[in-house]
Structure 1
Amino acid sequence: MFEAVIWDFGGVLTSSPFEAFARFETERGLPADIIRRTNAANHLENAWAKFERAEVDIEAFDRLFAAESLALGAEVRGRDVLPLLFGDLRPEMVEALKRVKTTLKTGCITNNLPANAIGSVSGRTLYVGEVMALFDHVIESAKIGLRKPDPRIYQMMVAALGVNPKGCVYLDDLGVNLKPAREMGMTTIKVLNAPQALAELEAATGLSLR
């Protein structure tokens, strides 16, 4: 029935940055969810969107994010948010990806940051080469100037994989990114945690992933 499984990266194959956001806000005495609310406000054209499309550099992102968060109640510098993005790989999700790959095509659509920006805030890299090499095709927002939930990025993936959207399962931790995939005909899974996501993926595909 299915031809491919398409994955988001951060929050799906890695732990969610939302946990780090919450810790940062508590430690700094900031309003709860100020970072997530700033990310969500005007989400197609805000500082975060522009940075993930590589339309602004890190200095501009830092200033824009600070202004946007201040308008919502408290200033948070964009540069301070970037180190919070580095989640830990979820080994059970990586194992599932390896098992899926034996029978189905695999793709990754990720909203990410320009490589030079990542390097400037952390010695770590957001992407682990061995995991990214498991995908048949990877689309990174910062490299193509498009980001989810723009429908074109999903269309690019199915074209690259040579599959019908109705033959795809798509996993993401954000509902706003699942909507366009679902409207194209994909089966979507909102990732809350690894056990839940794996159970739903097993149920959809009939594969044993654990």
Structure 2
Amino acid sequence: MVEAVIWDFGGVLTTSPFEAFARFEIARGLPADIIRNTNAANHFENAWAKFERAEIDLDTFDELFAAESRAFGAEVRGREVLPLLSGELRPEMVEALRRIKQNHKTGCITNNLPANAIGSASGRTLYVAEVMALFDHVIESAKIGLRKPDPKIYRMMTDTLGVDPKHCVYLDDLGVNLKPARDMGMTTIKVVTAEQALTDLEAATGLKLR
């Protein structure tokens, strides 16, 4: 029996930043997937991880990301990547969240960036108040100094919601972030498209979500 549905935000309730990464790379003549490859390398301790835990400031992130990207064939400044993070809300996913809220507890675990570090460098205005209010609890990496896929962040959510992980569904667009949730006993859904995610979520919850 499902007691709670826990969501990632970017790439789940919004469109994926990977699309923006690809457009940027093509426009600049950069190696394909250089941004994703830079993000994935040493993913616990790279520039991205440190920035999402609010351990470094924007200037340091900019320099570190540039240095790390050079290992993949070109220099990409960290400041240039930040505006690419803005995604458009997926209304069908927001509607599904509203329907689930009527029947189950809801939570959001998001790896995000410190608002005071981003300044005007990013147009990232993802945290729409109306949507975030649909969650019973929200955990933001930059506020607690901990980020996915650290297992502790998932345990913090289930403890706060007061639910057994075995009775939870977790959605994320990154496989590396799904594994710890799955290891805890959660039902996991990798979000590739909104249509696919809704089909999987309906199967997991038994609810009609569209």
State the TM bucket, normalised to the shorter chain. Answer: over 0.9
The residue correspondences of 1:1-210 to structure 2 (distance < 5 A) are: 1-210=1-210
How far the C-alpha of 1:119 sits from its partner, in A, is 3.1
How many residues end up aligned between the 2 structures?
210
Between the aligned residues of both structures, percent identity stands at: 82
Alpha-carbon displacement from aligned partner over 1:89-148 (angstroms, at most 9, x marks no partner): 000000000000000000000000001133331355221111011100000000000000
How far the C-alpha of 1:72 sits from its partner, in A, is 1.6
Distance 1:30 1:99 in 2: 42
Distance 1:151 1:21 in 2: 27
Distance 2:186 2:120 in 1: 37
TM-score where L is the length of structure 2 = 0.99
Distance 1:10 1:112 in 2: 9
Distance 2:124 2:48 in 1: 20
How far the C-alpha of 1:38 sits from its partner, in A, is 0.1
Secondary structure in 2 matching 1:107: strand
Alpha-carbon displacement from aligned partner over 1:48-88 (angstroms, at most 9, x marks no partner): 00000000000000000000000121100000000000000
Distance 2:5 2:182 in 1: 13
What code does the residue aligned with 2:175 have? G
Distance 2:110 2:18 in 1: 16
Change (3 A) 1:124 1:175: closer
Distance 1:102 1:30 in 2: 46
How far the C-alpha of 1:186 sits from its partner, in A, is 0.1
TM-score where L is the length of structure 1 = 0.99
Kept in 2, the 8 Å contact 1:52–1:113? The answer is yes
Kept in 1, the 8 Å contact 2:85–2:124? The answer is no
CA RMSD of aligned residues (A): 0.8
Distance 1:124 1:175 in 2: 23
Distance 1:37 1:131 in 2: 31
What code does the residue aligned with 2:178 have? L
Distance 2:125 2:194 in 1: 22
Question: Would you identify which runs of 4 or more consecutive aligned residues in structure 1 move more than 6 Å?
Answer: none
What code does the residue aligned with 1:145 have? G
Kept in 1, the 8 Å contact 2:12–2:172? The answer is yes
Alpha-carbon displacement from aligned partner over 1:26-54 (angstroms, at most 9, x marks no partner): 00000000000000000000000000000
Runs of 5+ consecutive residues of structure 2 not aligned to the other structure: none
Secondary structure in 1 matching 2:163: coil
Runs of 5+ consecutive residues of structure 1 not aligned to the other structure: none
Kept in 1, the 8 Å contact 2:4–2:105? The answer is yes
Distance 2:14 2:123 in 1: 17
Distance 2:25 2:112 in 1: 22
